[in-house]
Amino acid sequence: MSREMYNEIDLAKININVEPPTEEPGRQYYFMAKCCKWVKDFEQKNGRRPTACVTTFGCQMNARDSEKLAGILEKAGYQLIDNEKADFVIFNTCTVRDNANQRVYGRLGELGGHKRRNPGMKIALCGCMMQEPEVIEKLRKSYSFVDLVFGTHNIYKFAELLYASHEAEGMVVDIWKDTDKIVEDLPAERKYPFKSGINIMFGCNNFCSYCIVPYVRGRERSRKPEDILEEIRRLVADGVVEVMLLGQNVNSYGKNLDNPITFAQLLREVEKIDGLKRIRFMTSHPKDLSDELIEVMAQSEKICRHLHLPLQSGSTRILERMNRRYTKEQFLELAQRIRDRIPDIAITTDIIVGFPGETPEDLEETIDVVRRVKFDNAFTFIYSKRTGTPAAAMEDQVPKEQVKQGFDRLLKTVQDTARSQVAKYEGRVMEALIEEITEKGNSVEKSQPTENGEVMEKEHSGGESVSMVTGRLSNNTIVHVPGDASLIGKTVKVSLDECHGFYYIGHCV
Ligand code: 5AD
Ligand code: SF4
């Protein structure tokens, strides 16, 4: 793990015997100092530092939020570990589909068991799922051993809430409905020293009819470009070579700023940062993808040859019911325009099967788009009914058996096109950023998703005795090459010798 530079504020210099400041982030540093004192007392009593474990469910935005939670815990003096038997465990939850919720409840049951054995343990829950009132009700009723619950809007207050949970008896619950507030400059503890996600905006205004995100993440708010650029400069100074700009709909970045700017203009500025080698971003809504963005990507040396462009459905009728605001033909035309201007780009997508009212004919339209666009990868999801969304109230929910059949048919098509797209580059030499040691001398393929966005791990028995490392091409394809830990974080030229379905085995040249 790597620590970001603005972790350097010295907590020892903060006077914790006075009232807390009201302004941010000063207030949070004050509470970090308070937590630090608590940690020191714990250490004196127990002869060791308290341990903490942060578990993330869901998307890249949550992964980045978790780095901030970990940064605050670390700053307060906790020892971060990967084990849920820690003294403090926090689940950063997701609620996009119901199976994410079910997994949280299952894992929470296990945590309850740990807590019975270690009564001093504290359990915290945060993230999207906590923004749902029914969830809070259920926690109060059936999971009363939980100590701290907060949502997505007040995550920046984590230090303050952590301190409150040390002081309080019983469950501390602090959920906000919405906020405009964006707090900058909190510490973060990065998972990878050489790459980092960066939030450029929060929330979503699109209200796709199946989606709960606008309700749990609130309205769209963009960070100021100067704050984003400053954060990236600091990250680069700290060893980062690849950034992933994150937002629910990055193509509408900047519209609500006092001095509006476009996402393409932001990218131009990010490109100028010396030392930064690769720029990625997600997610792009097709309705807002501009020609200006295509042009900036085409001309860029640093923006990766990968665009994640969720289709959701290929049927214009279903797209309308989904409130996606594009037609099948418009999507096809957009994909073509992108491929014409940037021929080596990989286009990946998200697709939902079983949206209310979807017929087998509608699914054929989706399959037709998959074949024509030739997606390089696709995350396929079974529609999940989310309480409070317009689609949940639609009457014609699709029978399970039909959904299952459609899903399998779609998955097969998606895998066929993805395989042939990936195989296109066999024999070529490309640049890869080496990310990690390949697990257990085997190549573990992690790029082919299954239902619910989970990645399916496919083992390939590569040369057991040779140390292998895993790298990522600009187009997001994985390549395994012989090498050791000294290559991690470096960009190297690799020969893509053999395509194994969704990844390559190659060698450095
Ligand atoms: N059911 C199934 N999939 C969904 N997604 C969002 N909401 C739902 C839902 N209710 C999928 C969309 C989105 C991705 C992040 O999750 O495909 O792009
Ligand atoms: Fe959900 Fe649509 Fe917003 Fe994406 S764009 S987060 S699918 S409402």
pLDDT-derived band at 182 (thresholds 50, 70, 90) equals confident
Of the candidates 248, 252, 348, 340, which has an alpha carbon nearest to the alpha carbon of residue 307?
Answer: 348
Strand partners, 349: 378
279 φ/ψ angles, rounded to the nearest 5 degrees = -125, 125
DSSP structure class, residue 467: -
Contacts of 340 (CB under 8 A, 6+ apart): none
Residue 242 token pair = 């690849």
Stronger pLDDT, 181 or 331, i.e. the higher one: 331
Strand partners, 152: none
The stretch 139-153 carries a mean pLDDT of 96
Q: Using CA atoms, how far apart are residues 243 and 127, in angstroms rounded to an integer?
A: 23
Widest CA span in the chain: 68
Residue with tokens 């030499």: 429
The stretch 172-182 carries a mean pLDDT of 88
Name the residue of 60, 62, 99, 350 whose CB sits within 8 Å of the most ligand 1 atoms, as the mutation to test its pocket: 350
Q: Using CA atoms, how far apart are residues 285 and 265, in angstroms rounded to an integer?
A: 17
The stretch 91-108 carries a mean pLDDT of 96
Q: Which atom of ligand 2 is nearest to the CA of 96?
A: 1
Ligand 1 centre distance from Cα of residue 256 (Å):
25
State yes or no: pLDDT of 9 exceeds 90.
no
3-state secondary structure of 112: helix
Is ligand 2 within 6 A of the CB of residue 207?
yes
The stretch 109-136 carries a mean pLDDT of 95
Q: Using CA atoms, how far apart are residues 417 and 400, in angstroms rounded to an integer?
A: 26
State yes or no: pLDDT of 441 exceeds 50.
no
Amino acid identity at 381: F
Residue 337 token pair = 């325009």
Q: Quick: pLDDT tens for 232-256.
A: 999 999 999 999 999 999 999 999 8
- Please tell me the predicted confidence (pLDDT) of residue 7: 60
Residue 159 token pair = 């230090």
pLDDT-derived band at 65 (thresholds 50, 70, 90) equals very high
Is ligand 2 within 6 A of the CB of residue 211?
yes
Q: Which atom of ligand 2 is nearest to the CA of 249?
A: 5
Q: Using CA atoms, how far apart are residues 63 and 191, in angstroms rounded to an integer?
A: 9
Ligand 1 centre distance from Cα of residue 309 (Å):
13
Is ligand 2 within 6 A of the CB of residue 209?
no
Of the candidates 87, 92, 108, 109, which has an alpha carbon nearest to the alpha carbon of residue 54?
Answer: 92
Q: Using CA atoms, how far apart are residues 348 and 248, in angstroms rounded to an integer?
A: 16
Q: Which atom of ligand 2 is nearest to the CA of 285?
A: 5
Ligand nearest to the CA of 201: 2
3-state secondary structure of 375: coil
- Please tell me the predicted confidence (pLDDT) of residue 440: 65
State yes or no: pLDDT of 127 exceeds 90.
yes
Q: Using CA atoms, how far apart are residues 496 and 432, in angstroms rounded to an integer?
A: 10
Ligand 1 centre distance from Cα of residue 351 (Å):
8
Is ligand 2 within 6 A of the CB of residue 219?
no
- Please tell me the predicted confidence (pLDDT) of residue 54: 98
State yes or no: pLDDT of 456 exceeds 60.
no
Ligand 1 centre distance from Cα of residue 414 (Å):
17
Contacts of 26 (CB under 8 A, 6+ apart): none
Q: Which atom of ligand 1 is nearest to the CA of 312?
A: 17
Report yes or no: 130 and 92 within 8 Å, Cβ to Cβ. Answer: no
Is ligand 2 within 6 A of the CB of residue 204?
yes
The stretch 458-464 carries a mean pLDDT of 45
3-state secondary structure of 25: coil
The stretch 204-210 carries a mean pLDDT of 97
Going by alpha carbons, the residue nearest to atom 16 of ligand 1 is 96
Name the residue of 248, 250, 324 whose CB sits within 8 Å of the most ligand 2 atoms, as the mutation to test its pocket: 248
Is ligand 2 within 6 A of the CB of residue 188?
no
Q: Which atom of ligand 1 is nearest to the CA of 350?
A: 17
Q: Which atom of ligand 2 is nearest to the CA of 212?
A: 1
Q: Quick: pLDDT tens for 379-420.
A: 999 999 999 999 999 999 999 999 999 999 999 999 999 999
Q: Using CA atoms, how far apart are residues 242 and 234, in angstroms rounded to an integer?
A: 13
Amino acid identity at 116: R
Ligand 2 centre distance from Cα of residue 371 (Å):
24
Residue 119 token pair = 């009564």
Pairing of strands 346-353, 377-382: parallel
Pairing of strands 88-93, 51-56: parallel
182 φ/ψ angles, rounded to the nearest 5 degrees = -125, 115
State yes or no: pLDDT of 443 exceeds 80.
no
Of the candidates 43, 14, 1, which has an alpha carbon nearest to the alpha carbon of residue 159?
Answer: 14
DSSP structure class, residue 442: S
Of the candidates 93, 65, 381, which has an alpha carbon nearest to the alpha carbon of residue 211?
Answer: 381
Name the residue of 59, 211, 324, 353 whose CB sits within 8 Å of the most ligand 1 atoms, as the mutation to test its pocket: 211
State yes or no: pLDDT of 464 exceeds 80.
no
Q: Which atom of ligand 2 is nearest to the CA of 323?
A: 2
Going by alpha carbons, the residue nearest to atom 2 of ligand 1 is 383
Going by alpha carbons, the residue nearest to atom 9 of ligand 1 is 384
Q: Using CA atoms, how far apart are residues 205 and 221, in angstroms rounded to an integer?
A: 9
Q: Quick: pLDDT tens for 470-504.
A: 999 999 999 999 999 999 999 999 999 999 999 99
Ligand 1 centre distance from Cα of residue 387 (Å):
14
Q: Which atom of ligand 1 is nearest to the CA of 386?
A: 10
Stronger pLDDT, 347 or 181, i.e. the higher one: 347
**Poorest-pLDDT segment among 66-70, 166-170, 274-278, 470-474:** 166-170
Q: Using CA atoms, how far apart are residues 491 and 74, in angstroms rounded to an integer?
A: 30
Q: Which atom of ligand 1 is nearest to the CA of 283?
A: 18
Going by alpha carbons, the residue nearest to atom 1 of ligand 2 is 211
State yes or no: pLDDT of 115 exceeds 90.
yes
Q: Which atom of ligand 1 is nearest to the CA of 389?
A: 10
Report yes or no: 52 and 80 within 8 Å, Cβ to Cβ. Answer: yes
pLDDT-derived band at 446 (thresholds 50, 70, 90) equals very low
- Please tell me the predicted confidence (pLDDT) of residue 450: 46
DSSP structure class, residue 19: P
State yes or no: pLDDT of 169 exceeds 90.
no
Q: Quick: pLDDT tens for 356-371.
A: 999 999 999 999 999 9
Q: Using CA atoms, how far apart are residues 270 and 466, in angstroms rounded to an integer?
A: 38
Percent of the chain, pLDDT > 70?
93
Q: What is the number of alpha carbons within 13 Å of residue 446 lying toward its C-beta?
A: 12
Considering the chain, what is the average pLDDT of its residues? 93
Residues in contact with ligand 1 (CB, 6 Å cut-off):
96-97, 210-211, 310, 312, 350, 352, 381, 383-384, 386
| Residue 225 CA: distances (Å) to CA of 29, 228, 262, 308 | 24, 5, 10, 22
